[in-house]
Structure 1
């Protein structure tokens, strides 16, 4: 078999090159990411949380501004001066210095303050929701980075196992116990495993870059030491307490309701009082002036704004109803997904144990010549698939915990806020 023995050295060299490339894969140094619990303590500094906090501070400032009375108006009027005849010059002038103040009758200031307080309350809840969302995003990015790292290590192991199987097949070919095709198949499978490893490395590096950005770390992450996907979520809370989303909708409805009162008060006359001191130059005398002013509601009774506020209240009622319905459905679905994901993790772990034993027995049988290379390949592929399924199950459990935590107003794997 001269042609066979001419190809065997090239096949062996190809396997050796793949093995060398595998040995040099990965960074020579590692900067592990802090544990998720440590990163969670800094979630309030995330851009979304800081934005929500700034908006809430702005709303509190508007509450303070709403309590302030309007400024008085100071006016100086000069009459009967610099005219003709007896009004020539300034001798018969009448000068009035007056102050006008808006009285804010009908509870204008109180209604304005109530609306500002309601808006501030809604934005405070939105700030809490933003912190919870930021914590959920951090947990998801952390878990995805950890899963990507595990898939990379799994791809390394898969390549190592594939190379070992290819070498075993090559030995059988050299001994004449297997045809040349088996060695070629082994070389092809090793090349495919190497390509899978390169893809897993790219996914891992991208996941690490996302984690570095989301966690706002000063140095790039190159490894994860503290596991998150292996953590078992605490027991789901019982009860039907309103979620943050529902509470935000309730606060926005309250704001819309109070806005109606503001618009109704604006339809009433805006009364202003004035007091002044008038100087009569001709008589060398002074006198007080008193007055009240109010617009006549003949044309504008603010009906359009009142109707608009009432329509906005109906829209807020609809949003609140929708939020309550969605929250109930989402809460039940999240609990079901979390329970199912826990069962799936247990099942996949059992599948990994069974696949490992099946591959071990297949390798023993292959080395003894009792089973074919195809059967060995099937058991190897089943083992790799089982390990990937275990990673996917743990990632699904993290996602289910993130969804349920958001509905319960808490950080994933953390306490209720």
Structure 2
């Protein structure tokens, strides 16, 4: 039987034309095809967070280039005391310029750490965008599957209603006991209740898709099928696990942590402050230059705590990079195996459904002819419903497998590179 497919196509067509907003004042827009939807999500909250993190790292890198600010000091001596310093006649007023000089390559270390921070933020951003594309694909597919589950449930209700009519006719003709009619009514009521649950699941799936896409008015339909596009086996080449965004982000984090260790170590080196100024000697009606150099004594604070913290951060980053490397290697191997298994599962599910449809068709013919009991028809219809669910589950598993492998390849599930 192809009733399920016909109903799905009719339902999808109606869904693209129907649906009101929550306020009921405007028609709800259908979600565009997945590739177009992904391109339109540049201002979604998830992407905005990633862009903000990159901008933050760029700001910190710019700040790392700054040199220490000078200070101007004005102070007076020898006034307001006892004789002969009771007035201002012997006042010595000094205007002094103080310029700190960083020693030991502090500024260059900060700048290198800032650049490494930007690189790490960009790598995290790319990994985040790939993860977002993966989640959006799953949400899009979940909405489509929820749509199809409604078609499946409506088909089962329609078929159960038809079976109930046959049962009533046979009971009225005295060919079946009334118990069979009650069994058919119970089955119909159960399927009707399940249909309401499926509708609620569809609402939740579209709400999730809309939230990920960053739109306030929830989508109520899809304008294109993502599952059908994946029906054919895509051509895929070899995947280098060490080029995956997750591993490269972990490596960039490790490099940035290493640069921060260098910064903290150099921060322990004392800085020199040069001083030069002009002093006015009121008593002699003269002016003189003053100059000096100050050097802090690192007796109590040698920045040991910050150095130890940075070294611990580096060890953690190295461990995460090693873990990311192993996960990337395992992800590629398992991803390719899961894709192959999901394709075989989808093919087997299609064969199962064809068998279940034929079984139900023959069971219904036999029951209408009075050659088999109602229990066999109910069992055949239940088997058909299970087979339809297996087909949808197989389609969902195939999408998950291909989306995971595409994420490791740096691509969207439809084959476009993630930038």
TM-score by length of 2: 0.88
1 CA distance for matches of 2:302 and 2:190?
A: 78
SS where residue 231 of structure 1 aligns? helix
In the TM superposition, what is the alpha-carbon distance from 1:180 to its structure 2 partner? 2.0
- Per the alignment, residue 259 of structure 2 pairs with 258
Q: Where does structure 1 lack aligned partners over 5 or more consecutive residues? A: 1-25
Please give the secondary structure, in 2, of the residue aligned with 1:41. helix
Asked if 1 retains the 8 angstrom alpha-carbon contact of 2:46 and 2:212, the reply is no
Q: Counterpart of 2:176? A: 178
Aligned partner of 1:201 among 195, 199, 206? 199
Deviation at 1:393, TM superposition (A): 0.7
| Secondary structure of 1:33 counterpart | coil
Per the alignment, residue 138 of structure 1 pairs with 136
Tell me the alpha carbon deviations over residues 223-247 of structure 1, each in whole angstroms, 9 at most, x when there is no partner: 2241112222633441323322211
Q: Which residue of 2 aligns with 1:307?
A: 308
C-alpha contact 1:234 1:413 (8 A) present in aligned 2? no
Which segments of 5 or more consecutive residues in structure 2 lack a partner in the other structure? 1-13, 20-27
Q: Which deviates more, 99-108 or 182-191?
A: 182-191
Residue 415 of structure 2 aligns with which residue? 414
Cα distance per residue 1:320-377 (max 9 Å; x no partner): 1111112211222222212211111111112112221222222222222222222222
Higher mean alpha-carbon deviation, 390-399 vs 202-211, is at: 202-211
Q: CA deviation at 1:146?
A: 0.9
- Contact 2:239–2:409 (8 Å) recurs in 1: no
Pairing of 1:254-403 with structure 2 (within 5 A): 254-403=255-404
- SS at 1:274 equivalent: strand
Matched, 1:234 2:234: yes
Tell me how large the CA RMSD over aligned residues is.
Answer: 2.0
Choose from 76, 79, 83 the match for 1:85: 83
| TM-score of the aligned structures, taking structure 1 as reference length | 0.88
1:29 aligns with 2:29: no
Once the two structures are overlaid, the 10-residue window that deviates more, 226-235 or 252-261, is 226-235
2:66 aligned to which of 62, 68, 85: 68
Q: Distance in 1 between matches of 2:299 and 2:368?
A: 102
Shift of 1:395: 0.9
Asked whether the equivalents of residues 269 and 296 of structure 1 are also in contact (C-alpha less than 8 Å), the reply is yes
The C-alpha deviation readout for 1:77-124, integer Å capped at 9, x for no partner, is 211123222323222221111111111121111111111221222112
Aligned twin of 1:111: 109
**Equivalent residue in structure 1 for 2:41, among 18, 40, 43:** 43
Q: Quote the Cα distance in structure 2 between the aligned partners of 1:380 and 1:246.
A: 49
Structure 2 SS opposite 1:227 = coil
Task: Report the count of equivalent residues.
Answer: 392
Residue 260 and residue 214 in structure 1: after superposition, are their counterparts in 2 closer, same or farther (change >3 A)? closer
**Which structure would you say has the larger Rg?**
1
Contact 2:41/2:214 (<8 A) preserved:
no
